[in-house]
Chains A and B, each alone.
Chain A
Amino acid sequence: MRSMRASQTWPKILLLGFFVFLAVLVLIPFAAILIASFKPGKDLIRYGLNLNLDFQIMSLANYVFLFAGDHPYFVWFKNSVILTAFQSALTLLVSAAVGYGFAIYDFRFKRTLFICVLLIMMVPFEILMLPLYQQIIAIRLVDTFSGIILPYMANASTIFFFKQYLGGIPRSLIDAGRVDGASEYGIFARLIFPLMKPAFAAMGILSAMGSWNNFLWPLLVLRSSEKFTLPIGLNTLLTPYGNNYDLLIVGSCFSIIPIFILFLYFQKYFIAGMTAGSVKE
């Protein structure tokens, strides 16, 4: 590689400047809500959301209220954590088993069934929303976490990803397991499962993000405040009178944090999971 020529200095600075500008644009909404979280909600109703730093009125009052006030915010937060954990774990387990079945075995109707996986990916969930909602009412799963989790259990794109991933597993490993007398399920649980860690990480992060931010389906299923997840709870604070804005703004700020922390820690898995579908075999 040749050393950098002097003529490249200006393009470098221009390019850097351009991306700093882009980054500032992207971060404006976050800065706005962060600044607003230190102001009284009344101020927001009177003047609107902006980047004005007015130290006369800024205080930690909203944060004190968030942690010590009388409101169900942390009940919602806890629900979101529980639901996200359960839903991600179940989706990963079930999808891994299904992906394994498709990747390793040849069986009757395999092709037909796999076309069904692709079919699910092709139909927007919103179309099924109403009949599913009726079904959940009919089988008495309204206002339960099961009602939220069950329809998402075998996630088509996760199955697809695992199938692709497991396609690269050497068959000799499985045959060796059979020779050692392990059952088919034993092979999956003891030999294959440990090999799937990177795939689990990528899909786990993705499904945790989807579950944490999921809104439309929980909105239909949940009825009682003590079962609300964070997005649903925050949405109930959006009244036209703006009387809950103190909690809404500070609670919104706080709800971004868990996903941010996950992202900072597991960045490469996030990115692997996001772009998994685009890489053609």
Chain B
Amino acid sequence: MGEIFVAGLKKLVYSQKLAPYVFVSAFFLTFAIFFVYPLANTTVMSFQSVLPGEVEFIGLDNYTKLFHDEVFWKAVANSFLYMVLTVALLIPFPMVFACFIHSKIMIGGEFFKSVLFIPVLTSLVVAGTIFRLIFGELPGSFMNQLLGYFHHEPIKWLKMQTTGFGALIVLACWRWTGVNILYFLSGLKSIPQEFYESAEIDGANAWQKFFRITMPLLKPITIYVSTISVYAGLAMFLESYMLWTNNNSPDNIGLTIVGYLYRQGIEKNRMGYASAVGLVLLALAMLINLAQLRLTGVLKKEGE
């Protein structure tokens, strides 16, 4: 009896009907255990006060408290400022740099492409430490030495809002410029050369070629890069964690939404409150996703 059962089971597993389910089973398990369950869990927790040993349902209290929490709004403002600045810098400049590298008169394009890509290979622990020391407040730190050449007093870079945030943006640009150049280059490679040749015959100058041909044809890539930049900007945490050793920036000048979630959940062990922060972040991320789907027209196609 048992043998027949085992043989039957084996036949079933090996059947063409069941095979696809076996192939995707690992994903299904991961999805259920490490995605759906924690997401449901964090949603439930956001309506609770979670303290070690006692869990209490408190309705919308976490959210109302969050709404009046000045530090939280500071974190939201920082995240949005970071997002806006990184998108404003990390889209146009890499696009133009990519066009330069792609142009016929560029020497050593491959080499420069690689050099500019190197920063993203570096662990943020290392990169953050280097930048923290470069922007150090000692008179001998690299940035203060630069100021010294202009006969300016040393600055406490990371202790002030403007210069501290500036350091964060410099770190982001240093890290991501090369990657974004690669994205735009992959887009430029797919533009047929004939477009430019026929434009030249019509007497178009370099500006016209860039604005009339290159930019419109790069639109899909631009949307893609913008989306991941907006997304990464919104969920930024480690850059500021490393720049101000362990999530502690003076006056919260570098605190981000995820930084606040980490502070409440891990440092202060307020899981319920931290979950509410997480869900606000999730709502923002979903808005961005919807906007992107609208932009790329995926929703229109699927509107059956």
Contacts and interface: CB of A to CB of B under 8 A. Distances in A.
A218 to B, nearest CB: 11
Contacts of B126: 33, 231, 234, 252, 255-256
Contacts of B238: 215-216
Contacts of B92: none
Given A105-B19, A188-B23, A122 B289 contact: yes
Given A12-B107, A29-B174, A49-B142, A98 B129 contact: no
A50 interface: yes
B42 A130 contact: yes
A255 B126 CA distance: 8
Contacts of A116: 27, 31, 35
Secondary structure dominating the interface of A: helix
Nearest to B111: A23
Which of B103, B121, B136 has the most A CB atoms < 10 Å from its CB? B121
A274 B224 CA distance: 13
Nearest to B179: A274
Contacts of A63: none
B106 interface: yes
A130 B261 contact: yes
A277 B224 contact: yes
A131 interface: yes
A56 to B, nearest CB: 15
B123 A215 contact: yes
B166 to A, nearest CB: 15
Contacts of B77: none
B45 A131 contact: yes
A134 B20 contact: no
A22 B37 CA distance: 46
Contacts of B266: 130, 133, 220
A241 B282 CA distance: 38
B115 interface: yes
Interface residues of B, number: 92
B42 A184 contact: no
A107 B29 CA distance: 17
Contacts, number: 259
Interface in B189-219: none
Contact of B122 (A104, A133, A256): A256
Nearest to A24: B115
Interface in A206-233: 209, 212-213, 215-216, 220, 230-231
Nearest to A29: B130
Contacts of A59: none
B38 A153 contact: no
B245 interface: yes
A82 interface: no
B229 interface: no
A127 interface: yes
A260 B121 CA distance: 7
B87 interface: no
Which of A113, A124, A255 is the most central at the interface, judged by chain B CB atoms within 10 Å of its CB?
Answer: A124
Contacts of B127: 29
Nearest to A23: B115
B236 to A, nearest CB: 9
B114 interface: yes
A12 B109 CA distance: 12
A202 interface: no
Nearest to B258: A126
B237 to A, nearest CB: 6
Interface string B221-241: 100110000010011011000
A60 interface: no
A28 B142 contact: yes
A55 to B, nearest CB: 17
Given A50-B141, A124-B235, A256-B122, A97 B23 contact: yes
B109 to A, nearest CB: 8
Contacts of B134: 28-29, 32, 49
Contact of A151 (B30, B101, B116, B121): B30
Contact of A278 (B39, B130, B225, B262): B225
Given A215-B238, A230-B123, A135 B38 contact: yes
Interface of A: 8, 11-12, 15-16, 18-19, 22-23, 25-30, 32-33, 36, 44, 46-52, 94, 97-98, 100-102, 104-107, 110, 113, 116-117, 119-120, 122-124, 126-135, 150-151, 153-154, 159, 183-185, 188, 209, 212-213, 215-216, 220, 230-231, 234-235, 238, 240, 248, 252, 255-256, 259-260, 263, 267, 270-271, 274-275, 277-280
11 contacts: A22-B97, A23-B115, A50-B142, A113-B28, A127-B261, A135-B41, A151-B34, A231-B123, A252-B126, A263-B118, A275-B186
Given A29-B130, A131-B38, A274-B183, 12 more contacts: A12-B105, A28-B142, A49-B134, A104-B20, A120-B31, A123-B285, A126-B258, A130-B275, A154-B27, A185-B14, A235-B125, A278-B187
Interface of B: 14, 16, 19-24, 26-31, 33-35, 37-39, 41-42, 45, 97, 100-101, 103, 105-108, 112, 114-119, 121-127, 129-131, 133-134, 136, 138-142, 144-145, 174, 177-179, 182-183, 186-187, 220-221, 224-225, 231, 234-235, 237-238, 245-246, 258, 261-262, 265-266, 271, 274-275, 278-279, 281-282, 285-286, 289
